[in-house]
Amino acid sequence: MLSMTDVTRPDRAPPTRPARRPYHSPTVLDLAHASLRENGRLRLRVVGHSMAPLLHDGDLVWVEPMPAKRLQCGDLVLVRLAEDLLTHRLIAVDSQGWHTKGDNVGEADPPVAAAAILGKVVSAERRGRMLDFRQTRWTMANRLVGASSSLERRLGARAEGPAARLARLSAGVLRRLTRQLVRLPTLRPVR
C-alpha cells in the first residue's frame, strides 16, 4: 500500500498500472463470440471513454447478434478489431468495409469485414439504471449522431472550408444533444 510520502517523494514513484485491456486474449474473444452465438446475448463491461458521453467506463452493455446487412448507420456495434473488442458506432459501409468510430475519438477505426461485427448493442446499464437503445428516441438520436460522424468522415476531419466546419459543428451539437439525452429521466431502474 502506498502512503502519502511514497507519492510525494521523487525517488519513489508509485507503481504504474498496466493498461486496462480485459478483452485482449484470443481465448476471451473466442468465448465472447461463442457465448453470443449460443445464448443470443452477451453482457460486457465498457472499458475506456471512447464512447462518452453516451457510454462511460464501467457501464455494462448488452449485445445481441444481428446480421450485418440489418445494421444501419448510427447503430452501436460490438466489433472484433485485431485482438480487441470495441463498442463503437457504425458510421459508414462502402467498398472498403464497415467503418466504426467512437463518439469521443477524432479518427474513425480502420474498416472491417462484416464478419468482424459480432452484434448490436441493444442496451446499457449504469448504476442500476438501464438505457434501452431500441426505444424510438434512442434510435433517432443514434441515427443523427451516426449521420453526423459519417459526414465528418467523408469531408475529412482536417479539411478546410465551410462544409468541413459545418460538419464539425454539427458533430459537436449532436454530441451535446446526446449528453442531454443521457441526463433526461430516460434511464429506468433495472428489474
**Residue 27, CB-side half-sphere exposure with 13 Å CA sphere:** 0
- Given this model, what pLDDT does residue 173 score? 76
Grid coordinates representing 90 are: 457504425
Q: Measure the CA–CA gap between 189 and 16, rounded to whole angstroms.
A: 37
Q: Measure the CA–CA gap between 86 and 23, rounded to whole angstroms.
A: 9
- Given this model, what pLDDT does residue 182 score? 58
- Given this model, what pLDDT does residue 34 score? 83
Strands (E), the chain: 42-45, 60-64, 76-81, 84-94, 97-101, 117-126, 129-132, 188-189
pLDDT averaged over every residue in the chain: 78
Q: Measure the CA–CA gap between 21 and 67, rounded to whole angstroms.
A: 27
What is the share, in percent, of the chain residues with pLDDT greater than 90? Answer: 37
Pairing of strands 97-101, 42-45: unpaired
User: Residue 184 is which amino acid?
Assistant: L
- Given this model, what pLDDT does residue 121 score? 97
Q: Measure the CA–CA gap between 129 and 147, rounded to whole angstroms.
A: 27
Query: In Å, what is the CA distance from 139 to each residue of 13, 58, 97, 100?
Result: 47, 23, 23, 17
Given a cut of 60, whether residue 71 has pLDDT beyond it is yes
User: Residue 155 is which amino acid?
Assistant: L
Q: Measure the CA–CA gap between 76 and 92, rounded to whole angstroms.
A: 12
What domains lie within the chain, and their CATH numbers?
Answer: 23-185 (2.10.109.10)
User: Residue 55 is which amino acid?
Assistant: L
Q: Note the pTM of the prediction, 2 decimals.
A: 0.74
What residue has cell string 493498461? 19
pLDDT tens profile 79-109: 988 888 899 999 999 999 999 999 888 788 9
Contact, 52 vs 104, CB < 8 A?
yes
